[in-house]
Chain A
Amino acid sequence: MSMYDAVVIGAGPAGSMAAYEIASAGYSVLMVEKHKRPGLPMCCAEGVGRISFEKIIDPKPEWISSRIDTVRVVAPDGSDVSVAYPGAGYILERPRLDYDLAQRAVAAGCRLECETIGTHVDGNGDRFESIELRRPDGERVMVKAAIFIAADGIESQIARRAGVANAVDIEQVESILEYRVENIDLKVDTIEFFVGNDVAPKGYLWVFPKSPNSANIGLGIISDTKRSEEAGYRLDKFVEKNYPGAVVTHKTAGLTPKYQGKKMFRIRNLLAAGDAARALDSLTGAGIVNAMMSGKYAGAAAAEYLSDGVDGYNKLDNLYPGRFLEVKADELSLYLKLKNVYIRLKDDDFIDIIKALREYFTENSTEGINTGRLLAGLIRTRPRLIRLVKYLL
């Protein structure tokens, strides 16, 4: 049986960041990836906030498709607010980013095995000791390690089978459908969100420009019925209406789970990172930056754990998720609360909120947003919103 200091399952942004940290610290690490090549197939709208992304890594030009300076939100009645926010974010080229992050880990000494599935970890009740790997020809092998990192994305079966994750509740999550749309004209520096019950019930629709002639256009919806009919119908209708002549060149889908707190991040010597740990912004479903960041913290914690020798889990817990959540827990919880408000908004609420935002941003810039004044404006325009404050507490 082969043996490594650490095994990382999944070569997405979370896994590759973790593997890089462990390999850089001089430990042997195996990263396994189900697909032939990290980064493909791609299930993502590829948007990130610039500042938070650059805090984690210095972006290479090849990772960036477009630079976002304006955020536009459109209400159900067609009224809108455009907020100028220079340097707000990037639309990435994720297949390239994911591939490069994996190669960066390999360059640091990580062994990457593609077309290899991690099926489950095994242990003695106190510690996980090995993982079963499966190859396309059906061959199964066991690999030993001192620590494991589950970075297997939304599927998250490694953590789930280890006892850390429960099934996701369908009532809480949107079904996401996204098209790569070409042959259209759009402003390459503007991302757009469309809200309201008709466009995307309990979710939203986004237009993220990849170039002046192409975009990732997708939506997330929650409904009690079979969602495929609704999602496809609404997305097709939107594209046909707004971009006549558009050509859909690629379809993707998915789910962005909600943040569930600390319990999802560690069980014994298995650390979960990224989507596997539900480390997403629950309001928008953004998870790239959080995946990279949690992966980085998990990898650093694993390296420290390895240097200390195997001991109890208190110290490990302080390192991970401790240090990651010290930085991120408040933000993750806030977005979850905002989501609970968001799903209760009616079309009239959206119209008034967008009006209040428009008024605020005609007088103020995005620099140093005065949350108090913004909220006061919101409540003045739409007093009914007060009844939703309880979901923020």
Chain B
Amino acid sequence: MPIMLVVNESLCLECGGCVPLCPEDALFLSFNCLECNTDLCTLCRICIQFCPVGAIEEGEYVDV
């Protein structure tokens, strides 16, 4: 199962702090949620390390 980033929307405060840290510009703060472009994400985990509220996690990608 591939691993990908998952944003826990109940924890995310939409501060946008992780966005400029992403080396691949894969994170994007949309109208009311943080989005991750999984095509660009290399799972470097910098955003996970940064997030002051632990809202970004690694999850398993489930193909539906």
Binding site for B on A (CB under 8 A): 34-35, 41, 43, 115, 117, 136, 153-157, 160-161, 165, 167-168, 170, 173, 175-177, 224-229, 231-232, 251-255, 257
Contacts and interface: CB of A to CB of B under 8 A. Distances in A.
A252 B49 contact: no
A-B complex: 7 closest residue pairs judged by Cβ atoms: A228-B54, A255-B17, A177-B52, A253-B15, A254-B15, A175-B52, A155-B19
Given A117-B30, A228-B52, A154 B13 contact: no
B20 interface: yes
12 contacts: A35-B31, A155-B16, A157-B19, A157-B25, A170-B46, A176-B17, A226-B48, A231-B52, A252-B15, A253-B13, A254-B15, A255-B17
B53 interface: yes
A251 B46 contact: no
A115 B54 CA distance: 27
B54 A226 contact: yes
B22 interface: yes
Query: Secondary structure of the B side of the interface?
Result: loop
A257 B53 CA distance: 18
A228 B31 contact: no
B52 A154 contact: no
- Specify the main secondary structure of chain A where it touches its partner: mixed
Contacts of A156: 19-20
B21 interface: yes
A300 to B, nearest CB: 26
B63 to A, nearest CB: 24
Interface in B6-39: 13-23, 25, 28-31
A35 B29 CA distance: 11
A33 to B, nearest CB: 11
Given A154-B16, A154-B17, A167 B51 contact: no
Contacts of B61: none
A228 B28 contact: no
Contacts of A253: 13, 15, 17, 51-53
B16 A153 contact: yes
A176 B52 contact: yes
A155 B29 contact: yes
A13 B54 CA distance: 28
Nearest to A159: B20
Contacts of A35: 31
A251 B13 contact: yes
Contact of A255 (B21, B25, B29, B54): B21
Given A34-B29, A227-B49, 12 more contacts: A157-B25, A167-B21, A168-B21, A175-B17, A175-B50, A177-B52, A227-B52, A229-B54, A231-B52, A232-B53, A254-B17, A255-B15
B8 to A, nearest CB: 11
A17 to B, nearest CB: 20
Contacts of B29: 34, 155
A255 B53 CA distance: 12
Nearest to A252: B13
Contacts of A155: 16, 19-20, 29
A251 B53 contact: yes
Contacts of B23: 167
A167 B22 contact: yes
A81 B25 CA distance: 43
B11 to A, nearest CB: 9
A80 to B, nearest CB: 26
A373 to B, nearest CB: 39
